[in-house]
Chain A
Amino acid sequence: MDSAAESLSLMRAMSLADSPVHSSSSDDFAAFLDADLDTISDASADSEEVAVEEESILKRVKRRKLELPDGVINPESSSSQGEPKEDLGESSPKKNTCPHPGVYAGMCMRCGQKMDDESGVAFGYIHKNLRLANDEVVRLRDKDLKNLLRDRKLYLVLDLDHTLLNSSRLADITVEEGYLNGQRDALPDNLKSSLFKLNWMQMMTKLRPFVHAFLKEASNLFEMYIYTMGERPYALEMAKLLDPGDIYFNSRIIAQGDCTQRHQKGLDVVLGQESAVVILDDTEAVWGKHKENLILMERYHFFASSCKHFGFNCKSLSELKSDESETEGALATVLKILQRIHSLFFDEGREDDLEDRDVRQVLKTVRKEVLKDCKVVFSRVLPTNFPAEHHTLWKMAEQLGATCSIELDPSVTHVVSTNAGTDKSRWAVQEKKHLVHPRWIEASNYMWRKQPEENFPVSQPKNK
Chain B
Amino acid sequence: MFFHIVLERNMQLHPRHFGRDLRDKLVAKLMKDVEGTCSGRHGFIVAITGIESVGKGLIRDGTGFVTFPVKYQCVVFRPFKGEILEAVVTMVNKMGFFAEAGPVQIFVSNHLIPDDMEFQSGDMPNYTTSDGSVKIQKESEVRLKIIGTRVDATEIFCIGTIKDDFLGVISDPGATS
Q: A79-B150, A223-B121 are in contact. Are A64 and B41 (CB under 8 A)?
A: yes
Instruction: Report Cα–Cα, A130/B107, bound state, in Å.
Output: 10
Interface residue B125 (Cβ < 8 Å from any Cβ of A)? yes
Q: A72-B152, A81-B148, A107-B150 are in contact. Are A15 and B111 (CB under 8 A)?
A: no
Chain B residues near A3 (CB-CB < 8 A): 82
Which of B82, B151, B161, B163 sits near A74, CB closer than 8 Å?
A: B151
Instruction: Report Cα–Cα, A144/B153, bound state, in Å.
Output: 36
Interface residue A187 (Cβ < 8 Å from any Cβ of B)? no
Q: A4-B83, A61-B10, A92-B112 are in contact. Are A11 and B148 (CB under 8 A)?
A: no
Q: Name the segment of B14-22, B24-32, B88-96 touching the other chain.
A: B88-96
Chain B residues near A242 (CB-CB < 8 A): none
Chain A residues near B152 (CB-CB < 8 A): 72-74, 105
Instruction: Report Cα–Cα, A272/B96, bound state, in Å.
Output: 16
Instruction: Report Cα–Cα, A21/B172, bound state, in Å.
Output: 46
Do A112 and B41 touch (CB < 8 A)? Answer: no
Interface residue A16 (Cβ < 8 Å from any Cβ of B)? yes
Do A89 and B164 touch (CB < 8 A)? Answer: yes
Do B69 and A58 touch (CB < 8 A)? Answer: yes
Q: Which residue of A is nearest B153, CB measured?
A: A72
Instruction: Report Cα–Cα, A123/B121, bound state, in Å.
Output: 18
Chain B residues near A15 (CB-CB < 8 A): 5-7, 42
We find that the number of chain B residues with CB closer than 8 angstroms to chain A is 50
Interface residue B134 (Cβ < 8 Å from any Cβ of A)? no
Chain A residues near B111 (CB-CB < 8 A): 101, 109-110
Q: Which residue of A is nearest B163, CB measured?
A: A91
Do B149 and A80 touch (CB < 8 A)? Answer: yes
Distance of B92 from chain A, by nearest CB (Å): 9
Distance of A245 from chain B, by nearest CB (Å): 8
Q: Is the interface of B mostly helix, strand, loop or mixed?
A: strand
Do B41 and A14 touch (CB < 8 A)? Answer: yes
Q: Which residue of B is nearest A251, CB measured?
A: B93
Interface residue A396 (Cβ < 8 Å from any Cβ of B)? no
Interface residue A8 (Cβ < 8 Å from any Cβ of B)? yes
Interface residue B116 (Cβ < 8 Å from any Cβ of A)? no
Chain A residues near B39 (CB-CB < 8 A): 64, 68, 74, 77
Distance of A120 from chain B, by nearest CB (Å): 12
Instruction: Report Cα–Cα, A91/B148, bound state, in Å.
Output: 13
Q: Which residue of A is nearest B108, CB measured?
A: A109
Interface residue A422 (Cβ < 8 Å from any Cβ of B)? no
Instruction: Report Cα–Cα, A109/B111, bound state, in Å.
Output: 8
Distance of A90 from chain B, by nearest CB (Å): 7
Instruction: Report Cα–Cα, A140/B152, bound state, in Å.
Output: 29
Do A12 and B153 touch (CB < 8 A)? Answer: no
Q: A61-B9, A78-B40, A101-B109 are in contact. Are A107 and B69 (CB under 8 A)?
A: no
Instruction: Report Cα–Cα, A271/B65, bound state, in Å.
Output: 55
CB under 8 Å from chain B, chain A span 255-271: 271
Chain A residues near B109 (CB-CB < 8 A): 101-102, 104, 109-110
Interface residue A429 (Cβ < 8 Å from any Cβ of B)? no
A18-55 contact mask (Cβ, 8 Å, vs B): 1 or 0: 00000000100000000000000000010000100000
Do A147 and B10 touch (CB < 8 A)? Answer: no
Do B157 and A80 touch (CB < 8 A)? Answer: no
Instruction: Report Cα–Cα, A106/B155, bound state, in Å.
Output: 13
Interface residue A108 (Cβ < 8 Å from any Cβ of B)? yes
Interface residue B145 (Cβ < 8 Å from any Cβ of A)? yes
B78-118 contact mask (Cβ, 8 Å, vs A): 1 or 0: 10111100000001011110100000000101011000001
Do B95 and A130 touch (CB < 8 A)? Answer: yes
Do A11 and B3 touch (CB < 8 A)? Answer: yes
Do B80 and A91 touch (CB < 8 A)? Answer: no
Distance of A148 from chain B, by nearest CB (Å): 8
Distance of B176 from chain A, by nearest CB (Å): 23
Instruction: Report Cα–Cα, A101/B3, bound state, in Å.
Output: 34
Q: Which residue of A is nearest B42, CB measured?
A: A14
Interface residue A129 (Cβ < 8 Å from any Cβ of B)? yes
Chain A residues near B153 (CB-CB < 8 A): 68, 72, 74
Q: Could you jot down 9 A-B contacts, CB within 8 Å?
A: A15-B5, A58-B69, A74-B152, A78-B40, A78-B150, A79-B81, A80-B148, A106-B150, A114-B148
B residues engaging A (CB < 8 A)? 1, 3, 5-10, 38-42, 52, 69, 71, 76, 78, 80-83, 91, 93-96, 98, 107, 109, 111-112, 118-119, 121, 123, 125, 145, 147-153, 157, 159, 161, 163-164
